[in-house]
Amino acid sequence: MTDKHFGSDSYSSSGQLRRDVYETELERLQIELVKLQEWIKAKGLRVVVVFEGRDAAGKGGVITRITEKTNPRVVRVVALSSPSDRERTQWYFQRYVEHLPAAGEMVLFDRSWYNRAGVERVMGFATADEVEDFMRTCPQFEGMLQRSGIILIKYWFSVSDTEQERRFRNRLTDPAKQWKLSPMDIESRLRWEEYSHAKDEMFAFTDTKTSPWWVVNGESKRHARLNCISHLLSQVPYEDLYPTADGSRTAASGIRPSGAAAH
């Protein structure tokens, strides 16, 4: 998908989308998210949204804007920590299954089962056999979810090497953001090419016709947030259950199919 286009007067002299334009559009989209939430609840839908991508590519910011106005009892975030010793002995997908949505819920996975194809593979936390088994079984697992009636949407956030470096340095010097920079993040900077190779191979196995990846260009945080939310709204057909509200819809934009994915 292509970026959402704004008029030339929507940008500052530095080429950035103006804050007032961004905030106006974000507020409109967040109202639509509330409408979607109410539709999911009323119709008993089960929606899973997977957020993956480069460190500091902006997925956390998008998740925050999605949940800012929604009901946490309907739209909830799952961000699992490292598996316990017991969980390491389970079927790999088992600890994710217990967090799947019930009827009337949408779950946002901030990182997901794709840890095995990314950080676990690159950092040596998974064996080659475990990674190979994941690649083979993941499409089957996702097919089971979809056949059960779950709507599955997967986003990969892409950012350039240069922009990631700039954001990491900003986190190092900003006391309010230092918590975002873990030793694992710093190590990932040294393994850019390895992560690129792992991502390409992961897409080769898991970017399927029935469960495609959607790539979000994260170079501009404001654009990424608006584009991703707009696209998400397009993936679950819904109606406004409150006829007195503005029922206008936004066309999907700003995300492209994974076929021409950037690293």
All structural domains of the chain, each given as residue ranges with its CATH number in brackets, are 8-260 (3.40.50.300)
Is this model's pTM higher than 0.75 or not? yes
* pLDDT on residue 3: 63
Q: Is the pLDDT of residue 5 over 80?
A: no
Mean pLDDT to the nearest integer, 153-180? 85
* pLDDT on residue 182: 73
Distance CA(140)–CA(21), nearest Å, equals: 43
Q: Is the pLDDT of residue 190 over 60?
A: yes
Weakest-pLDDT range from 9-18, 81-90, 131-140: 9-18
Distance CA(77)–CA(110), nearest Å, equals: 7
**What single string gives the DSSP state of each residue in the chain?**
-PPPP--GGGB-TTSPBPHHHHHHHHHHHHHHHHHHHHHHHHHT-EEEEEEEESTTSSHHHHHHHHHSSS-TTTEEEE---SPPTTGGGS-TTHHHHTTS--TTEEEEEES-GGGGGTHHHHTTSS-HHHHHHHHHHHHHHHHHHHHTT-EEEEEEEE--HHHHHHHHHHHHH-TTTGGG--HHHHHHHTTHHHHHHHHHHHHHHH--SSS-EEEEE-SSHHHHHHHHHHHHHHHS----S-TTS--------SEEEGGG---
Weakest-pLDDT range from 27-31, 67-71, 183-187: 183-187
Residue pair 194/122 in contact by the 8 Å Cβ criterion: yes
Residue 230, number of CB atoms within 10 A of its CB? 22
Q: Is the pLDDT of residue 184 over 80?
A: no
* pLDDT on residue 187: 75
Percent of the chain at pLDDT exceeding 70: 88
Percent of the chain at pLDDT exceeding 90: 73
Residue pair 37/70 in contact by the 8 Å Cβ criterion: yes
Weakest-pLDDT range from 104-118, 124-138, 188-202: 188-202
* pLDDT on residue 7: 72
**Banded pLDDT at 251 (limits 50, 70, 90):** very low
**What single string gives the DSSP state of each residue in 229-241?**
HHHHHHHS----S
* pLDDT on residue 252: 41
Residue 27, number of CB atoms within 10 A of its CB? 11
* pLDDT on residue 215: 98
pLDDT, one tens digit per residue, over 67-126 is 999 999 999 999 999 999 999 999 999 999 999 999 999 999 999 999 999 999 999 999
**Banded pLDDT at 250 (limits 50, 70, 90):** very low
The better pLDDT of the pair 186, 196 is held by: 196
